[in-house]
Amino acid sequence: QVQLQQWGAGLLKPSETLSLTCAVYGGSFSDYSWTWIRQPPGKGLEWIGEINQGLGTDYNPSLKSRVTISTHTSKSQVSLSLSSVTAADTAVYYCARRDRRSGSYNKIDHWGQGTLVTVSS
């Protein structure tokens, strides 16, 4: 059974850097892409970016200048860093697994429980 457990600071001040980590339990870590998605209060889901061992990283152009996604493969962990945060970055942040193997249609099939990050002075 695959489980994604995430953690990180929940309250930030404007201009600080958001840092979240997601640990993956179960399943192969290197066979999948690892994705970060967020949901601002009352709004829809926004894809932040992802990392894949063979394909590298891919970021949403709207956030690319501020985002870094990295992995610690030996620990089966993936991390998100978002710099220079503002109130607009207040959201629930999710880590998730994306299956890009043939026949899986690139589905996102497992999600973490989400971490609420609030940016406020």
Partner 1 sequence: DIQMTQSPSSLSASVGDRVTITCRASQNILSYLNWYRLSPGKAPKLLIYATSTLEGGVPSRFSGSGSGTDFSLTINGLQPEDFATYFCHQSYSSPLTFGGGTKVEIK
Nearest alpha carbon to residue 36 among 89, 118, 112, 90: 112
Q: How far is the CB of 114 from partner 1 (least distance, A)?
A: 7
45 contacts partner 1 (rule: CB under 8 A): yes
Place of tokens 């220079």: 84
Q: Report long-range pairs for 101-109 (Cβ below 8 Å, ≥24 apart).
A: 101/31, 108/35, 108/37
Q: How far is the CB of 111 from partner 1 (least distance, A)?
A: 4
58 contacts partner 1 (rule: CB under 8 A): yes
Which residues of the shown chain bind partner 1 in the complex (CB under 8 A)?
A: 4, 35, 39, 44-47, 58, 60-62, 94, 96, 98, 104-114
